Amino acid sequence: MAEAVLEPDLPIIDPHHHLWDLRPLIGAIPEPRHPFIETISRSAYYTFDQLLGDARGGHNVIATVYMECGAFYRADGDPTFKTVGEVEFVGGVAAQGASGLYGAFRPCAAIIGHADLRQGDSARPVLDALIRAGNGRFKGIRHQGAWDADPDVLGSPFHAAPRLYHSDVFRQGFRHLGELGLTFDAWVLEPQLDDVLDLARAFPAQLICLDHCGTPLGTASYHGTLTERFEVWRTGIRQIATCPNVSIKLGGLAMAFCGMPERGPEAGLSSQDLAAMWQPYIETCIEAFGPERAMFESNYPVDKWGASYNTLWNTFKRLAQGTSPDEKHALFAGTAARFYGIEHLLT
């Protein structure tokens, strides 16, 4: 049974979602399938219409931030610039929303794309092209660094090199983000939190957002270890929070990687159940970073593994019950608007 929407008037900027068509790729992934593949195979086609339905399902989602996911890269031309195709595609979706045809909702008001920073200084022309393609909506990039020695943790879709963020050539490319006024989203796994800490300290003026609460692990060789590794995770989060240039996204815990819940997709747990499960992680992040550097995220459709869109936001609202009105505004909209440069949407 669908839950009644809590606090339906609370403005929300969803700072992390994807749009994709993965149907042509699903059959190419070998068996046995990783739980993450099971998630995307059930959400292999997540369109603007589906986002619109989720975002207008009862919660007051006023805008969203698109997060790169390798969608709709260019098939022709110089392959160095293939990632520009994703920003071009998402720009069209943003223009649909900006037409006003769908009311005040502004999807993809900010766009996070991708450039391969392992190209060093050669990444600069790609960043310039992404800025031009974004027509003012392109705000930064994500270059995911998720890696683990156990290949079953991530499965076949991810092949980041170990200690990617420490690489000299990666950092050569990374420095151009600050020069261009762009943000950086970092996705790593809990055992890699030191990678983000070192990067943030090396570039103290660069705005960085740590995705998905630092991705605590509860799958593969980490199954059953969430409790024993909690202090390791919490220590890493608190250390990163000492870097004032880093913000954090409160979400991603419904991913199959985390095992919270272990079963999916859309495990059917209530927002009360999920809030009880996630409370130690969310509270730790808010206490460490403060509401002014923390933002709730849907990570949809990936987090569809554990919860429907409405249940997810109900869960976050339960977790924020002890905050003041100003703190709640920051967690659900203000921090995201400021970090991604879309504060005009709140006026």
Q: Rounded to whole angstroms, how far apart are CA atoms 61 and 332?
A: 9
Mean pLDDT of 217-241: 97
Q: In sequence order, what are the residues at sequence separation of 6 or more whose Cβ sits closer than 8 angstroms to the Cβ of residue 33? A: 41, 155
Is 323's pLDDT higher than 70?
yes
The amino acid at residue 5 is V
pLDDT, position 60 = 98
Strand blocks (E) in the chain? 11-17, 20-21, 45-46, 60-67, 106-113, 138-142, 183-186, 208-210, 246-250, 294-296
Mean pLDDT of 56-74: 97
pLDDT, position 264 = 66
* Between residues 175 and 22, the one the model is more confident about: 175
Q: What burial letters (b/e) apply to 144-170, b meaning 16+ CB within 10 Å?
A: bbbbbeeeebbbeebebeeebbebeeb
pLDDT, position 43 = 74
Mean pLDDT of 59-82: 97
The per-residue pLDDT of the chain, averaged, comes to 94
Is 143's pLDDT higher than 70?
yes
Is 62's pLDDT higher than 70?
yes
Mean pLDDT of 204-231: 97
Report residue 32 as tokens: 């046995």
260-265 contacts: CB < 8 A, separation 24 or more?
260/216, 260/218, 260/226, 260/306, 261/306, 262/218, 264/35, 264/38, 264/39, 264/304, 264/305, 264/306, 265/38, 265/39, 265/42, 265/43, 265/304, 265/305, 265/306
pLDDT tens-place string over residues 101-119: 999 999 999 999 999 999 9
Mean pLDDT of 167-190: 98
Task: Report the relative pairing of strands 45-46 and 106-113 from DSSP bridges.
Answer: unpaired
pLDDT tens-place string over residues 123-132: 999 999 999 9
Is 210's pLDDT higher than 90?
yes
Which residue is associated with the tokens 């589906």? 50
CATH top-level class for 11-342? alpha beta
Mean pLDDT of 303-324: 95
Which of 128-137, 190-199, 265-274 has the least mean pLDDT? 265-274
pLDDT, position 187 = 98
Q: What is the pTM of this model?
A: 0.95
Share of the chain above pLDDT 70, in %: 93
HEC string of 67-131 equals ECCCCCCCCCCCHHHCCHHHHHHHHHHHHHHHCCCCCCCEEEEEEEECCCHHHHHHHHHHHHHHH
